[in-house]
């Protein structure tokens, strides 16, 4: 099969021929149709986590079709359209797993980081990480929903905000453009926070009821005028912008952090105490959370904005994404 591998930390992407992998116990082989290119692929590319088994095939936003089933797999068949996201399977034995908290599994299997991922014509996936893809969703659309989609959808639906509450989304790129759509379709009074007047019409197309321009307005003060946000979903890699939003939360409002900024988030204790506000981290979601994300996306007509490139142009797609020039989500296709 054709695959894109990284030979060692910091090495370039290279197109190689690999033997078609065989599924082991509890695993299936997925014939890959599409794989999203995500900022987190830099973990494999640059060796940012310890213990990455090089040479590795990156990619954790995978959509395709099961074409072989290993021993011990129950409930999945050859020919079923499936995806695999960041959650590539859990161990079932560690303490978080035994408490039913699968996303916090201490032995979580992340495709493209712990084992070969989806920048290839086929990959091996653990059955516990598989996601059924609805017929009405193309593989290029499903792939980014398995990472950026489930992260924003699952954060919002578990935030405690109720229909009609003010919910703000900080950022309008890969994560944010999905967050705004999900928030609006979930029935929240949706506030998009971007930079520049030119983003307003786009934010409104996505369903935002209010647009705040961080270059001209003080978003926290504007949110306070609306009564404060019950939830602020912070999708941008900018800790300073997140810190500044805390006074825009309502009483018992939550700042949910899913963007990764390099600097620490700073917050005044006074801004938290009297109002009972909280700051939360949120990990994406398990395979069933991803399945819910895909179903809701079909139900409510939420779609990622994508740009596709063939697998062999992975390096170009990655560079475009890293330079933030991509039209939201880059997706590699195999032609399968
Ligand atoms: Zn991702
Ligand atoms: Zn576990």
Task: Give the integer Cα–Cα distance in Å for 12 and 181.
Answer: 35
In this prediction, residues 273-296 reach a mean pLDDT of: 95
Q: Note the pLDDT of residue 85.
A: 97
51-65, pLDDT tens digit by residue? 999 999 999 999 999
Counting ligands in written order, the one closest to the CA of 331 is: 1
Contact present, 216 and 193 (Cβ < 8 Å): no
Q: Note the pLDDT of residue 335.
A: 94
CA of 92 to the centre of ligand 2 (A): 5
329-333 and 27-37 strand pairing: antiparallel
User: For residue 80, with 0-12 CB atoms within 10 Å meaning exposed, 13-18 middle and 19 or more buried, which class applies?
Assistant: middle
Confidence class for position 323, pLDDT limits 50, 70, 90: confident
- What's the whole-number average pLDDT of the chain? 96
CA of 184 to the centre of ligand 1 (A): 23
Counting ligands in written order, the one closest to the CA of 58 is: 1
CA of 270 to the centre of ligand 1 (A): 35
């Amino acid at each position: 099969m054709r695959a894109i591998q990284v030979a060692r930390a910091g090495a370039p992407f290279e197109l190689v021929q690999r033997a078609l992998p065989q599924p082991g116990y509890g695993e299936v082989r997925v014939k890959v149709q599409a794989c999203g290119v995500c900022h987190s692929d830099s973990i494999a590319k640059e060796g940012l986590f310890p213990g990455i088994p090089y040479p590795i095939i990156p990619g954790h936003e995978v959509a395709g079709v099961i074409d072989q089933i290993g021993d011990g797999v129950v409930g999945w068949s050859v020919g079923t359209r499936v995806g695999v996201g960041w959650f590539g399977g859990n161990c079932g034995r560690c303490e978080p797993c035994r408490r039913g908290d699968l996303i916090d599994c201490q032995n979580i299997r992340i495709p493209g980081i712990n084992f070969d991922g989806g920048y290839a014509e086929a990959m091996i996936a653990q059955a516990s990480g598989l996601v059924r893809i609805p017929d009405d969703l193309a593989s290029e659309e499903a792939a980014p929903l398995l990472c950026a989609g489930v992260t924003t959808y699952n954060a919002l639906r578990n935030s405690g905000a109720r229909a009609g509450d003010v919910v703000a989304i900080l950022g309008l790129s890969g994560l944010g453009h999905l967050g705004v759509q999900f928030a609006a379709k979930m029935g929240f009074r949706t506030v998009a926070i971007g930079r520049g007047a030119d983003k307003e019409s786009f934010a409104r197309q996505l369903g935002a009821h209010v647009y705040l321009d961080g270059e001209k307005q003080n978003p926290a003060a504007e949110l306070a005028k609306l009564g404060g946000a019950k939830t602020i979903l912070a999708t941008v890699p900018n800790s300073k912008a997140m810190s500044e939003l805390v006074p825009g939360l309502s009483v018992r409002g939550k700042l949910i952090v899913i963007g990764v900024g390099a600097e620490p988030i700073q917050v005044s204790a006074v801004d938290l105490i009297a109002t009972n506000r909280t700051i939360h981290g949120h990990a994406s979601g398990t395979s069933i959370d991803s399945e819910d994300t895909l179903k809701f996306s079909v139900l409510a007509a939420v779609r990622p904005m994508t740009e596709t490139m063939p697998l062999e142009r992975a390096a170009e797609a990655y560079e475009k994404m890293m330079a933030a020039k991509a039209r939201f989500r880059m997706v590699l296709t195999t032609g399968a």
